Structure 1
Amino acid sequence: MKTPHIAIICDWLIDFGGAELVISHLLETFPDADIYTSVCYMDHPMLEGRNIYTSWLQRVPFFNRRHKLAGVLRPWAFRSFDLSGYDIIISSSSAEAKNAGYSKRGKDTKHFCYCHTPTRYYWSHYEEYRNMMEFGFFNALARLVLDRLIGWLRKLDYEAAQRVDFFIANSKNTQERIVKYYNRESEVIYPGVNIPVIPTAGEKGDYYIGIGRCIPYKRFDLLVDAFNTNGRRLVLCTATDTHLFRELRSKSNSNIEWKYRVSNDEKDELMKGAKAFLFPPLEDFGLVPIEAMAIGTPVIAYGKGGALETVVDGVTGVFFSPQTPEALNQTIKQFEKMEWNSEKIREHAEKFSKKIFQEGIQEFIKNHAK
């Protein structure tokens, strides 16, 4: 039996975050796969020696460096790829990558979509994205365009989802949304992280930590408001230089320290020394809390969404609710009265290892690609 020709599709390759970690694990699992994406401006070892194909958006002035404004165009960019030479398409998507192979694919080609969430800004978080846009001068125009086109964009997204042969959800929370918005069934395979070989428990510092993209739904604003009030030390790490990042940094008190584009080693050291990792968004899953637990650091998370599937209340972390600075501060007070066992926290994280993820993906595709 010949080795299947595989294409791995992702929404874009700009910064390295949780979605890109999944891509790197897929590339390790399928080392001969080609990569297709809308635009690529990321320099990362996982891309070395790879065949990378970008869409025509990469060559369009203005939109090529403002990929968030190109959402209206991305369905067509992905549909333009000719994937007829591939046996298997694997899209890893929270946006429009699932449009790949919509028409230009072989009659026996199977499309597997690893879905991080149905497209957030069309469905579950539409109002939030509309009201907290990050386009600066273009906000008013973007809202006008989105209001006029949202019905059509949802139709395109739904149609693309119907052309996927098999959905894999990154969590039970996402699985429910796939049914709600796409009326499709899916298999849950949790994404994985690298689990340190050597236990990393050690002395904790006097600070809390938050890590992620500084975009509206990640709720860094909630962390800043909470710690401006409580006066405790907070370290915030981000790799996104957005208007929101600059706004929040300017309003942060001296107890809040911002770090921009830290290395993986520095991030791990900061996470290891933190009292707790703070996770305020309503996320479909969330890999960074698992990374924190993998090095023995407890998590304080908003008590809804994917965090309920990864954090064990009172064992590996605690939850706060509602999603307000006041609720977070109250939970921090409770957290500081509790005892935490770093080894137990780390043991729990092993359930979400890279190895388990890769084996699950391989098995699912092997069983359904026939």
Structure 2
Amino acid sequence: MRLAVFHDYFDEIGGAEITLLYLAAGLNATIYTTNIDRQKINQLGFKKVNIKSIGSVPSIRHLKQLVTQLRFSFLKIRGFDRYVFGGPYSIYALKKHKPNLWFCFSPLRGLYDLRYFKKGFFEILKQPIKEIQIYFDKKAVKNIQKIICNSQTTMNRIKEYYNLDSKVIYSPVDTTEFNYEKYKNYWLSVSRIDPYKRIELIISAFSKIPDERLVVVGGTVPEHDRYLRILKKNSTKNVSFTGPIYDRKRLADLYAHCKGLITTAKDEDFGKTPIEAMASGKPVIAPNEGGYKETVVDGVTGKLIDDINSNKLAKAIKEVGKNPESYKSACLKQAKKFDTKEFIKKIKKEIL
């Protein structure tokens, strides 16, 4: 079977892009997208994946999204037996590409569950525009024939906002890339630098526990440069920033030697970094919400915090940090449930 995968862009690499790269590699699919950062993709170990650009798009956030949407609206690719869609802008090509399947990582959060997350006068002015975007988004979704999603959390959103059914296949992690080593004196945060990731909670928590160290891994887009500057300005001496790391061996080494992972995203869709940490035998501290509830076992592979704030987070860090090695066995076992082999086996049944 000839399989094509459509996705918004591959110059920003996160969990969704890595999932689709694993899918393409495992099913010998061709990816069609807009912008491509081949260097990042190669560093992640996907040199052999065939990726083609349908045309470049601007780097300015809102213009980038609009032009991506337009490019896919006019796209017509033939010669494939099935079409898999990933990003929320690629689905504007659904109507002309059947049979199709949408691997949904979440309905657009800025239009739905996080629509009012950002505050300010400018955000109020944007609400009528968002109503128009919602109309066209729901219109595009009507052309979907089948939906697979990455978590129960996403499945619930799809039902709430689109009134459509979907099936969960968890996003994968290649657990063989990670290994356990005796911990050094630092905790790890790995995520895109974005306000909804609530990294300021972690920064604030570490200001209360100066004997503990934090390493923050992650990059941002120009839209969130100010947020990154504020994080750095408010950081104490026990916090350091590495920027984005696409070298998987370097990232695995950081996981291997950390005390544990701390992640604080608001209602995370799924969250691959907890799996990567557990595959390294390291505990995870996270909010008791979203996809974290599906991956982290409270008290067994880490700590889930109700109504998270920086004080509760600092307390959890002290608690888990007393004996982080005690979580090793349970973490390694839990991570295996999300391995790439399981993912490919399940996705093959749905696609081929």
Q: TM-score, normalised by structure 1?
A: 0.86
Code of the residue aligned with 2:132 in structure 1: it is: W
Code of the residue aligned with 1:365 in structure 2: it is: I
Shift of 1:144: 6.5
- How is 1:234-273 mapped onto 2 (pairs within 5 angstroms)? 234-240=214-220, 242-262=225-245, 263-273=247-257
Aligned counterparts of 1:144 and 1:336: Cα–Cα separation in 2: 43
Code of the residue aligned with 1:75 in structure 2: it is: Q
Aligned counterparts of 1:144 and 1:83: Cα–Cα separation in 2: 39
Aligned counterparts of 2:292 and 2:49: Cα–Cα separation in 1: 36
Q: Does 1:169 align with 2:152?
A: no
The aligned residue for residue 313 of structure 2 is 328
Query: Identical aligned pairs, as a percentage?
Result: 27
Q: Is the 8 A contact 1:201 1:343 kept in 2?
A: no
The aligned residue for residue 111 of structure 2 is 122
Q: Does 1:364 align with 2:347?
A: no
Q: Is the 8 A contact 2:34 2:68 kept in 1?
A: yes
Distance 1:7 1:145, change over 3 A: farther
Aligned counterparts of 1:349 and 1:330: Cα–Cα separation in 2: 25
Aligned counterparts of 2:53 and 2:4: Cα–Cα separation in 1: 10
Distance 1:41 1:330, change over 3 A: same
Shift of 1:217: 0.9
Q: Does 1:35 align with 2:31?
A: yes
The aligned residue for residue 53 of structure 1 is 53
Code of the residue aligned with 2:147 in structure 1: it is: F
Aligned counterparts of 1:15 and 1:270: Cα–Cα separation in 2: 22
Q: Does 1:11 align with 2:3?
A: no
Q: Is the 8 A contact 2:25 2:49 kept in 1?
A: no
Corresponding residue SS for 1:35: strand
Partner of residue 330 from structure 2, selected from 344, 355, 368: 344
Aligned counterparts of 1:278 and 1:69: Cα–Cα separation in 2: 33
Shift of 1:65: 1.6
Corresponding residue SS for 2:86: strand
The aligned residue for residue 99 of structure 1 is 92
The aligned residue for residue 160 of structure 1 is 140
Shift of 1:15: 2.9
Unaligned 5+ residue runs, structure 2?
none
Q: TM-score, normalised by structure 2?
A: 0.90
- Bigger drift between 178-187 and 17-26 goes to 17-26
Shift of 1:215: 0.9
Shift of 1:240: 2.5
Unaligned 5+ residue runs, structure 1?
133-138
Shift of 1:42: 4.4
1:325-354 superposed Cα distances (whole Å, 9 cap, x missing partner):
122112223323456231221111001000
RMSD: 2.1
User: After the TM superposition, which segments of 4 or more aligned residues of structure 1 sit over 4 Å from their partners?
Assistant: none
Residue-pair matches, total: 341
The aligned residue for residue 208 of structure 2 is 229
Aligned counterparts of 1:28 and 1:34: Cα–Cα separation in 2: 9
Code of the residue aligned with 2:153 in structure 1: it is: N
